Amino acid sequence: MASEVFFTDMRTGIGDTLPDKLGRLIEKAGIGGMDLDRKFVAVKMHFGELGNLAYLRPGIPRTIAEKAREMGGIPFLTDTNTLYVGHRKNAPEHMDTANYNGFDRMSAGCQIIIADGLKGTDDVEVPIRGEYVETAKIGRAICDADAIVTLTHFKCHELTGYGGALKNLAMGCASRRGKMEMHAAGKPSVDRDKCIGCGTCVRQCAQSAISMSGRKAAIDGDRCVGCGRCIGPCLYDAISAENDQDACVLNAKIVEYAMAAVKGKQNFHITVMTDISPNCDCHAENDTPVIPDVGMLASFDPVALDKACIDLAMEQPPIRGGMLYEKCGGKVPEDMFACIHPTTRWQSTFEHAKKMGFGSADYVLVNVK
């Protein structure tokens, strides 16, 4: 059965703002039918990596927070700590980055909570019994919430082909060990040039898999269970996980983690297609957008929402000077995502969602003025 996806473009007239249009969009899409009275509402978004300016502005989540509060809900903005080295790998740095990028109680209309705690280790194991994931590791604050509203900036992605609502739900709601489970089939490793031999990781490891060798940390692969708990506490960025997972397996795990993130919850999903960059927003830079701004979309079905975004993106002409324009010679390619990142296969996401009975790639697009 086809799901409804609601769409509005980015055009505005005098006296009609984009937050106004977003408000009409989510009303038409049926957010008012959710029971949010005295419910905790997680508004899941990406606060932007330090230096990257493609993230959504605070006025967008403010519209969602005000609507949730109007419905009696208790909204909070949330994200989880990152697996990679950057400025969002622990809660204090993550909060600082969010504040630096303009997100706080006044600008965004609600408080900010980092869902997996101080070091990215505060999670709940959610049984999913998928093909690849037995139990998903989801940030505790998201698990504790009564409802989740995703607010996603659509973009291309070097590993998954595209970044949409499903990735926001999966990678964005997973704790550090959950992210590692999706990204890596292997174990973390130590950069001996960066390691100062402080021993913090040794004390963090519950498996006694880390020892000091020549005043440097060393990980015993036989003992290591790949939980990723050693990564966040390292203040010298000396421990990291390899992205060694096959692209189609990664996409399948993303579907299964997305299922876990919404399990037993009211959920609603919004995607904004502006500043569509060639790479993930987790980069500390954002390249020239590859296609023009498209619009905003909303749906109760994250699978249909992602497919609608992909279809709309495919219709757009490349922007002169952008990566897509350079790679396709200025012509509209058959598959813009494969053109930019040839080793990805975004279609496998929808194939696995169908296999798992999660959402529908069939949709009806409803235009909202």
Q: Which of 124, 95, 57 is nearest to 265 (CA)?
A: 124
User: In the chain, where does DSSP find H-type helix?
Assistant: 18-29, 59-70, 91-100, 105-108, 140-144, 165-173, 176-183, 200-204, 247-262, 302-314, 323-328, 336-340, 347-356
Structure tokens at 225: 């269970």
Ranges of residues in the chain with a pLDDT under 70 are 85, 185-186, 232, 242-245
Please give the C-alpha separations between residue 367 and each of 6, 46, 280, 282, 364, in angstroms, as whole numbers: 6, 26, 28, 31, 10
Q: Structurally, what CATH architecture does the domain formed by 3-184+244-367 represent?
A: 3-Layer(aba) Sandwich (3.40)
CA atoms within 13 A of residue 86's CA, in its CB half-sphere:
20
Q: Structurally, what CATH architecture does the domain formed by 187-240 represent?
A: 2-Layer Sandwich (3.30)
Q: How far is Cα 81 from Cα 133, in angstroms, rounded to an integer?
A: 20
Q: What is the largest CA-CA distance in the chain?
A: 68
Q: Which residue has the tokens 């606060």?
A: 47
Q: How far is Cα 47 from Cα 58, in angstroms, rounded to an integer?
A: 9
pLDDT score, position 1: 87
**Single pTM value for the model:** 0.89
User: 332-343 burial string, b = 16+ CB within 10 Å, else e?
Assistant: eeebbbebbbee
Please give the C-alpha separations between residue 338 and each of 122, 139, 162, 248, 341, in angstroms, as whole numbers: 36, 32, 10, 13, 5
CA atoms within 13 A of residue 97's CA, in its CB half-sphere:
27
Q: How far is Cα 287 from Cα 279, in angstroms, rounded to an integer?
A: 8
pLDDT score, position 362: 98
Residues of the chain with CATH 3.30.70.20: 187-240
Residues of the chain with CATH 3.40.50: 3-184+244-367
